[in-house]
């Protein structure tokens, strides 16, 4: 890391939507970035298997040999995605003394601690601001700005596709399938939307945030995942009637026993909560610190140019370190705090039930709740009558474990004759 006047060599692995925009920013803003860094940054290669046609890309530096390119740069930007070969390329770059900037949430959620350790061993940096919230600066605040605080909980809308779908269902009264198709047609959802609507994309981001917030090795397999595939227009209407909004949240928290939990699931938020007001494909992350209190980070969570802005921000940070022959802060994962089994995590819940309007149905249901130690906070019967003479009964509980509420549901459907079915079980956030 000698401090000289030679350009800082930057290699780009991947030239898709984000990669192409990253190259554009590096090329078109080269003079201004040089002024910010104190030395020229030179894009020495772009590795891609697909042809790239953009006026800002010099075709002479395009290659299909990512492994070789990863060995001849000071900073390697990995935007290939997936686990392999991205993991191999990143470790090869680190082994050759390069620092790495990546947006690869899936890789970090599965192999992050291994990569952090490799960077530490070789005295280089790993930066990944774009891996969690696109353009939203959330990684650096967790990694640096709040390192002197204790973080108790993070709740984030970190997937634009699901937020767009739920927002359209809420504002327009549409069904899930109808909105999903419209989102695909408009380019807000992938042709195969499984990673988004089933919560796996958000789960990767939850694992990364938990590592940073709690200094604990938390992987994707430690994250409980529920998506929005089963959210109906009736659920949305029920939330509205209760002055609430349904959002898919990534939630990581550490309780007063230092137990850690990480999950992705739909939550009914009060309509006055800041996250309830986040519409369209926007993302937001709400952080609760012990000393700092409540903080919220809001913005574009995806898209070529917004995500590229976060990538280039990391590149500039690392280039400055190269100029001054230093490295950035490590990612210490020293905690051995227990990770809660998802069944032991606690929340308030809403149960929306289809019941026959007969004397004693509420009393019988209440006995089942009591049997499993579940305290009822509110009960509401909805008078709208179904074709079969049923009504809806809405029950909101006090905080209980996921295991308890599942036992209640099973028992209600099995032992209370006048309950036709439990239509919905959804978490309720009261704060």
Q: How far is CA 74 from CA 8, 103, 125, 252, 405, in A?
A: 6, 18, 11, 34, 53
What is the C-alpha separation between 148 and 323, in angstroms, rounded? 27
| Contact residues for 267 (Cβ-Cβ < 8 A; gap 6+) | 155, 246, 247, 248, 249, 251, 426, 427, 428, 429
pLDDT averaged over the chain?
Answer: 94
**Residue 174 labeled ligand binder:** no
pLDDT-derived band at 403 (thresholds 50, 70, 90) equals very high
Q: What is the mean pLDDT of residues 160-177?
A: 94
Reported confidence tier of residue 162, pLDDT bands at 50, 70, 90: very high
- Answer yes or no: is 13 a known binding residue: yes
17 marked as part of a ligand binding site: yes
Higher pLDDT among residues 114 and 387, named by residue: 114
**384 has pLDDT over 70:** no
Query: 15 a known binding residue?
Result: yes
* Mean pLDDT computed over 186-209: 93
How many CB atoms are closer than 10 A to CB 177? 9
Q: Is 389 annotated as a binding residue?
A: no
What's the DSSP call for residue 335?
A: B
Quick: pLDDT tens for 124-156: 999 999 999 999 999 999 999 999 999 999 999
- DSSP-derived letter for residue 5 is S
Model confidence at 1, pLDDT cuts 50, 70, 90, reads very low
pLDDT of residue 418: 86
Q: What angle do CA 328, 334, 335 make, to 5 degrees?
A: 130
Quickly list DSSP for 224-256: EE--STT--HHHHHHHHHTTEEEEEEEEEEE-T
Q: State the pLDDT at residue 189.
A: 83
Q: What is the pLDDT of residues 6-31, one digit of tens each?
A: 999 999 999 999 999 999 999 999 99
Q: Which domains occur in the chain, in start order?
A: 8-134+304-323 (3.40.50.720), 143-299 (3.30.360.10), 343-428 (3.30.70.260)
pLDDT surpasses 60 at 2: no
CA distances to 97, 300, 370, 376, 399 from 373, in Å:
57, 43, 5, 10, 11
Residue of 185 and 8 predicted with greater confidence: 8
Angstrom distance (rounded) from CA 287 to CA 374:
29
From 68-72, 168-172, 383-387, the region with the lowest mean pLDDT: 383-387
Is residue 21 classed exposed, middle or buried when 0-12, 13-18 and 19+ CB atoms within 10 A define those classes?
Answer: buried
Q: Which pLDDT does position 166 carry in this prediction?
A: 96
* CA-wise closest residue to 54 among 21, 12, 32: 21
Mean pLDDT in residue range 291-313 = 93
Q: Is 199 marked as a binding-site residue?
A: no
Task: Give a three-class secondary structure readout of 85-122.
Answer: CHHHHHHHHHHCCCEEEECCHHHHHHHHHHHHHHHHHH
pLDDT at 385: 60
pLDDT for 430 beyond 50: yes
Q: Which residue has the tokens 């209407």?
A: 237
- Identify the band that residue 190 occupies on the pLDDT scale cut at 50, 70 and 90: confident
Q: Which residues participate in catalysis according to the annotation? A: 205
| Cα 310–Cα 315–Cα 320 angle in degrees, nearest 5 | 130
Cβ neighbors of 8 (< 8 A, separation 6 or more) are 37, 39, 40, 41, 42, 74, 75, 319, 322, 323
pLDDT at 211 over 90: yes
Buried b vs exposed e over 386-411: b needs ≥16 C-beta within 10 Å? eeeebbbbbbbbeebbbebbebbbeb
16 annotated binding-site participant: yes
Give, as one character, the DSSP assignment of residue 160. H
299: left (phi over 0), alpha (psi -120 to 50) or beta: left
The pTM assigned to this predicted structure is 0.94
Is 34 annotated in some ligand binding site? Answer: no
Q: How far is CA 383 from the centre of its chain?
A: 38
pLDDT of residue 317: 97
pLDDT at residue 301, as a whole number: 86
Cα dihedral 368, 371, 376, 380, rounded to 10, equals 10
The pLDDT value given to residue 185 = 87
For 189-214, give the DSSP string: S-SS-HHHHTSHHHHHHHHHHHHHHH
Please tell me the distance from the alpha carbon of residue 29 to that of residue 175, in angstroms, as a whole number. 44
State whether the Cα torsion 113-115-118-124 is positive or negative: negative
Percent of the chain predicted with pLDDT > 90: 86
- Determine the average pLDDT of the residues in 67-79: 97
pLDDT tens profile 237-258? 999 999 999 999 999 999 999 9
Q: Is the pLDDT of residue 386 over 70?
A: no
CA distance 109 to 396: 34
Instruction: Output the CA torsion sign for 352, 353, 359, 365.
Output: negative
Tell me the CA distances in angstroms from 325 to 4, 42, 112, one per residue in order: 10, 18, 25
- Name the pLDDT band for 4 (thresholds 50, 70, 90): confident
Structure tokens belonging to residue 265:
């699931």
């Amino acid at each position: 890391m000698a401090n000289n006047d030679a350009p800082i060599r930057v290699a780009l692995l991947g030239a898709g939507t984000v990669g192409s925009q990253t190259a554009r920013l590096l090329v078109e803003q080269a003079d201004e970035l040089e002024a910010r860094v104190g030395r020229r940054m030179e894009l020495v290669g772009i590795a891609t298997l697909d042809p790239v046609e953009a006026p800002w890309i010099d075709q002479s530096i395009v290659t299909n040999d990512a492994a070789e390119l990863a060995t001849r740069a000071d900073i390697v930007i990995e935007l290939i995605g997936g686990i392999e070969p991205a993991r191999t390329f990143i470790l090869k770059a680190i082994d050759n003394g390069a620092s790495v900037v990546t947006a690869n949430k899936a890789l970090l959620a599965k192999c992050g601690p291994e990569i952090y350790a490799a960077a530490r061993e070789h005295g280089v940096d790993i930066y990944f601001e774009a891996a969690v919230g696109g353009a939203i600066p959330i990684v650096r605040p967790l990694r640096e700005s709040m390192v002197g605080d204790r973080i108790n909980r993070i709740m984030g809308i970190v997937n634009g596709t699901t937020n767009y779908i739920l927002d359209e269902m809420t504002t327009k009264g549409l069904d899930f399938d109808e909105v999903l198709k419209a989102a695909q047609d408009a380019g807000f959802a992938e042709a195969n939307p499984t990673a988004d609507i089933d919560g796996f994309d958000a789960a990767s981001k939850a694992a990364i945030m938990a590592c940073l917030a709690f200094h604990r090795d938390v992987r994707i397999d430690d994250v409980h995942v529920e998506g929005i595939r089963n959210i109906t227009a009736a659920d949305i209407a029920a939330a509205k009637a209760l002055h609430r909004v349904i959002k898919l949240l990534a939630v990581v928290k550490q309780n007063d026993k230092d137990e850690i939990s990480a999950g992705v699931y739909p939550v009914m938020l009060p309509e006055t909560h800041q996250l309830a007001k986040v519409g369209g494909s926007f993302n937001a992350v709400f952080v609760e610190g012990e000393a700092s209190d409540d903080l919220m980070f809001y913005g574009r969570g995806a898209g070529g140019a917004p995500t590229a802005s976060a990538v280039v921000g990391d590149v500039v940070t690392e280039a400055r370190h190269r100029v001054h022959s230093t490295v950035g802060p490590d990612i210490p994962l020293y905690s051995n705090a227990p990770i809660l089994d998802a069944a032991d995590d606690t929340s308030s819940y809403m149960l929306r039930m289809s019941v026959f309007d007969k004397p004693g149905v509420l009393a019988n249901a209440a006995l089942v709740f009591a049997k499993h130690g579940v305290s009822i906070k509110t009960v509401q019967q909805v008078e709208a009558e179904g074709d079969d003479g049923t009504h809806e009964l809405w029950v909101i509980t006090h905080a209980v474990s996921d295991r308890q509420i599942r036992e209640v549901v099973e028992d209600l459907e099995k032992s209370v004759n006048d309950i036709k079915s439990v239509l919905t079980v959804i978490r309720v956030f009261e704060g």
